Amino acid sequence: MTAEKKRKIARVLSFIVIIAGVTVIIGWIFNIEILKSISPSWVSMKFDTAISFLLSGIVIYSITKVQEGEFDKAQIIISITSLIIILLMGILFFSTLFRIHTGLENLFISETAGGVKTVVPGRPSIPTMINFILIAVSGILSIGNLEKVHKKLKIIGITIGIIGALAVIGYIINISFLYYYIKGVNSAMACHTAILFVLLGIGLICL
C-alpha cells in the first residue's frame, strides 16, 4: 500500500472520529441518551471525551496535511488542538491520581451523580485520558523531524489501538475489568469510546 493510500485511510478515519465526537456532544447538549451511551446498561461517553475526540480527529487529519507538505497551517492547528487535549486530559488525570476535584468535569456539561459504572460524574476513565495524551504527543511529534517520527507514530498507534481493543473485547465477553471498570477507583471506558480509539490507532499506524 502506498503512502498516499495510507494517508487517505487515516483521513477517512479522522472524519469518522470527528463526526462521532460531534454526535456525542449533541447528545449531551440536548440530553439524547442513545447518543451518549449505546446501551442504557453501559457507561456513557463523557462530554470531555467527546470534545477530545473532535480535537483528536483534527490532529490526525492535520498530520496527513503535514506529511503532504502543507506544514504552516497544519502546524498551527496541531499545536492548538494538542495543547487543549493535554491541558484538559492532563488536569483530569492528575485530579484522579491525587483525588482532588477541580470542577473541570462539570465545566461545560454536568452529569448527574450515580451514572452507570461512573466513579466521578463527568470524568472519563484513566486509560481514556492516557490515550488522548498520547494522541496529543503524536501531533506534537509530527511537527518535528518527519523522517524520525513514523516509527514513533506506529508505536503510539499500536498502544492506543490495543487499549481500545481490550475494552471492546471486554464488552463482547462481558468482563468489566477489560473495559477498565474498577468500582470506586476507575470509571469504565464507554464502548463507542473504545471503538473510536481503535480507529485512531489504525489511523496513526497508517501515518
Q: What is the pLDDT of residues 14-65, one digit of tens each?
A: 999 999 999 999 999 999 989 998 888 889 999 999 999 999 999 999 999 9
Residue spans of alpha helices (H) in the chain = 3-29, 33-36, 47-67, 71-97, 126-142, 146-173, 191-206
- Confidence check: pLDDT of 100 > 70: yes
- 92 contacts: CB under 8 Å, gap ≥ 6: 48, 102, 104, 105, 123, 124, 129
- Confidence check: pLDDT of 147 > 80: no
- Confidence check: pLDDT of 148 > 90: no
